[in-house]
Amino acid sequence: MRAAILRDYGNEPEVAEIDRPHLPNDSVMIEVHAAAINPIDWVITAGHMQQMLPYELPWTVGYDVSGVVVEVGSDASGIAVGNEVFARADGMQAGTMAEYAALKATDLALKPSNITHVEAAGVPLAGLTAWQALFDKGQLTEGQRVLIHAGSGGVGTLAIQFAKNAGAWVATTASVANRGLVERLGADQFVDYKTERFEDAVEPCDLVFDMMGGETLRRSFDVVKPGGTIVSIKGEAPEGLAAERNIAFHPFFMQPNGEQLSEIAALISGGVVNPVLDSTYPLDDVAEAYRYAQSGGPNGKVAIAIR
């Protein structure tokens, strides 16, 4: 099969002919129609995750997938040949930028039928991250105020829609060129992070969802009510600051979860949530797609069409 592989850390992924992956008993084989790029993909190819995720090279890249089930492992249940599915692959399985990928059955959800495979492929990693940050860690409820940083990104575009659907009031930071986008998605207040200080512009919030770390995370402590919460998918808070301000601080790394992805799929099927796709590249142009995804240019997701 054709696949995008990483031969050495520091290189770009390249397309090669390799064997189909082995199918573990708890997994299903997916005929991949589309994959999508996430920041973790280029962090891995650069070699920054070698300790946490010790892949053997050459390694097939990609975590997000949308496609059709063509084979079901002997211990995999709840899924059948012919089902259209999407998923964020488990860390050590991965390898979705290929004609076939083997994924754990528990990581899969049925793809919403009202969106295409390239649209669906951009949802799992970003969507599960937003879901787990807002609801598992952030405990966001109706009527609360949340500041979502980077509202124009892959995670942010879904986070805004999830928070609005939960009945929260939403402020978000983005570039001014993306003001229209984040307001269409439902943001109640837009803050241009290049010209305004969000901690001055936004009234105190119950929750901040941080994807930037560093200065943005530190300044986020100035916009949370005492007793409120900051969830960060990017960094650690300065030591002692959370306790000093009486703010709960949760750093975390998202996990694949087929059940939560099914809840997200239901919101998409119902027309409540609309994935934002920036662009689609063919598998042959995977290196160019990686370069574009890192350029700061995209709004929403960059997908790889496999079929």
Separation CA 34–CA 305 (nearest Å): 5
As given in the structure block, the two tokens for residue 223 are 């916009």
Judged by CB under 6 A, does residue 230 bind ligand NAP?
no
Judged by CB under 6 A, does residue 155 bind ligand NAP?
yes
Pick 66 or 178: Cβ nearer ligand NAP: 178
Judged by CB under 6 A, does residue 253 bind ligand NAP?
yes
- Among residues 106, 59, 45, the alpha carbon closest in space to that of 260 is found at 106
Residue nearest to ligand NAP (CB): 153
Evaluate whether 85 touches 109 at the Cβ level (below 8 Å).
Answer: yes
Burial class (CB in 10 A: 0-12, 13-18, 19+), 136: middle
- Partners of residue 212 on adjacent β-strands: none
The span of 9-17, 69-77, 105-113, 150-158 binding ligand NAP (CB under 6 A) equals 150-158
- Radius of gyration, CA atoms only, the chain: 19
Residues 179-198: x where in contact with ligand NAP by CB under 6 A, - otherwise, as a string: --------------x-----
The span of 38-46, 53-61, 74-82, 219-227 binding ligand NAP (CB under 6 A) equals 38-46
| Cβ-based neighbours of 283, under 8 Å, separated by 6 or more | 2, 4, 15, 97, 304, 305, 306
User: Which of residues 1, 9, 20, 39 is near ligand NAP by CB under 6 A?
Assistant: 39
Pick 112 or 127: Cβ nearer ligand NAP: 127
The span of 15-23, 66-74, 104-112, 151-159 binding ligand NAP (CB under 6 A) equals 151-159
Backbone angles phi, psi at 44, to 5 degrees: -70, -50
Helix (H, G, I), strand (E, B) or coil at 133: helix
- Partners of residue 174 on adjacent β-strands: 192
Backbone angles phi, psi at 182, to 5 degrees: -70, -30
Pick 82 or 296: Cβ nearer ligand NAP: 296
Judged by CB under 6 A, does residue 212 bind ligand NAP?
yes
Judged by CB under 6 A, does residue 233 bind ligand NAP?
yes
Separation CA 257–CA 255 (nearest Å): 6
Burial class (CB in 10 A: 0-12, 13-18, 19+), 266: middle
Judged by CB under 6 A, does residue 216 bind ligand NAP?
yes
Residues 6-25: x where in contact with ligand NAP by CB under 6 A, - otherwise, as a string: --------------------
Least distance from ligand NAP to the Cβ atom of residue 149, Å: 5
Judged by CB under 6 A, does residue 163 bind ligand NAP?
no
Query: Residue numbers of the site for ligand NAP (CB under 6 A)?
Result: 38-40, 126, 129, 149-150, 152-156, 173-175, 178, 193, 211-212, 216, 233-234, 253-254
